[in-house]
Structure 1
């Protein structure tokens, strides 16, 4: 597995000043560049949810943990649970998590900064700002063809994985040791999924971890996947580096046939009617 401190978060997020932006902010800009280029032909809607998987629990990063604790105290109820669900097309969504719309790359990046501020990080012997959770950013893009009314939907999942750890190297104790064990267990489950996909086994063990459940529609199936494996140049991390390269070789062996998710104008209109009825709005006669 890719060890902690090898540069995964820098690759995905970049530096704090954004002089060297990572894949996530670059993706935000690319999405809205494409939208601008096609604005005369399509009507677009962009929405996002941002989660972290911390100690095997999914948490909504649009809600600060302090704010959630305060709301729970005020209401004397249970903290809001985020659960992984799949629709009939196999697309994963986070039930209970807040989804926010963005009309520009700047708005989307502001939401991302809000989410990152609520993420768990701490210092270890190997990393000053070690990610103690997996960060999952789901961006849904819906485009409506202005000529024929057909609707296409897509989801871009951007995942910053926490690094695998050896307690002897990181000096993890108590709650940090619990965090490390949870991280290693989920990364091991991800490795099992990668192995099953590369070997084209009939059963892929997605349900063995919440991490692999939330990434299910991003691995194999109808997805195109780019996985970046970071390795440390330090000689003391040689074992981890070799393991990471073997892991990357297995990932590269996976092939699949991705197809576009397109609905006809009639289906899109019917869904709009159903949504209005569910929300209690009146529906005028619609010719479908």
Structure 2
């Protein structure tokens, strides 16, 4: 998710990639239409795809980071398991989300395109925090559609009723790893990250 636009990091054909849209799939919930998909049968294949995608990800220089991620990266792995003895089949999905770090404008020195990127990153992270706050408070309305990042966590049921996808409720599990810098000069960013982590930890549904 770069500047509130979806990018296919695995698109390798000539010409402009097709337009990407967020839609609902009855089997898998919220998906991105027209995005590149690959059938994989080993961790080696998965690692190669993730490495290829990482090379295409938008990065840029700021005063705080020489190779700062300027986008949020989402890698979706859809799994199918078959029990031949029982004749049953199970489906599951694993979403690996690498969030771009929040940066204070006065410290990043961002101008021009870097400024626009920073503003969009901070806006989407703020939207994510709002979603977790609404979840923790068990509010009837969770504002998933405030950003492309949070929209990808939303879904519409076939009946038209808004529901939360399994990644944030139901039988699913969500694990968040928050990285902080130990330097005293980064204490403000570390405090903000820990506050965000504490906010997320309040969600139990």
- Normalised by the length of structure 2, the TM-score is 0.88
- Equivalent residues in 2 for 1:135-146, closer than 5 Å: 135-146=73-84
Q: Deviations over 1:16-65 (max 9, x none)?
A: xxxxxxxxxxxxxxxxxxxxxxxxxxxxxxxxxxxxx001001111115x
8 Å contact kept, 1:133–1:161: yes
Deviations 1:93-147 (A, max 9, x none): 1111011011211111111111111111112111121101001000000011111
Root-mean-square deviation (CA, aligned residues, Å) is 1.6
Q: CA deviation at 1:243?
A: 2.1
1:124-181 per-position Cα deviation (integer Å, ceiling 9, x unaligned): 1111211010010000000111112211100000010001111221111100101111
1:134 is aligned to 72
Residue equivalent to 1:254: 203
Note closer, same or farther for the CA distance 1:198–1:89 as it changes in structure 2 (3 Å cut). farther
Of 124, 129, 145 in structure 1, the residue corresponding to residue 62 of structure 2 is 124
> Post-superposition shift, 1:219?
2.3
Residue 169 (structure 2) pairs with residue 225 (structure 1): no
SS at match of 2:10: coil
Counterpart in the other structure of 2:51: 113
Q: Contact 2:28 / 2:93 at 8 angstroms: preserved in 1?
A: no
Aligned residue in 1 for 2:8: 60
The TM-score, its normalising length taken from structure 1, stands at 0.64
CA contact (8 A) 2:78 2:92 kept: yes
Q: Secondary structure at the match of 2:129?
A: helix
Aligned to 1:101: 39
For residue 189 of structure 1, the aligned residue among 124, 127, 133 is 127
Superposition pairs for residues 234-249 of structure 1, below 5 Å?
234-249=183-198
Matches within 5 A, 1:78-97: 79-88=17-26, 91-97=29-35
Cα deviation, residue 188, structure 1:
0.5
Residues 220, 254 of structure 1: 8 Å contact kept: no
Give the alignment partner of residue 112 of structure 2, picking from 174, 177, 180: 174
How many residue pairs get matched? Answer: 194
After superposition, the C-alpha distances for 1:66-100 in whole angstroms (9 at most, x for unaligned) are x5xx513xxxxxx4111111224672211110110
CA distance 1:83–1:175, shift in 2 (3 Å) = same
Structure 1 position 155 matched with structure 2 position 99: no
Q: Contact conserved, 2:129 with 2:199, CA < 8 A, in 1? A: no
List 4+ stretches of structure 1 deviating above 4 A. none
Q: Distance in 1 between matches of 2:29 and 2:175?
A: 18
TM-aligned CA distance change 1:210 to 1:222, over 3 Å: farther
Task: Say yes or no: does 1:208 pair with 2:146.
Answer: yes
Unaligned runs of 5+ in 1: 1-52, 73-78, 257-288
Give the equivalent residue in structure 2 for 1:71: 15
Q: Which one has a bigger Cα radius of gyration?
A: 1
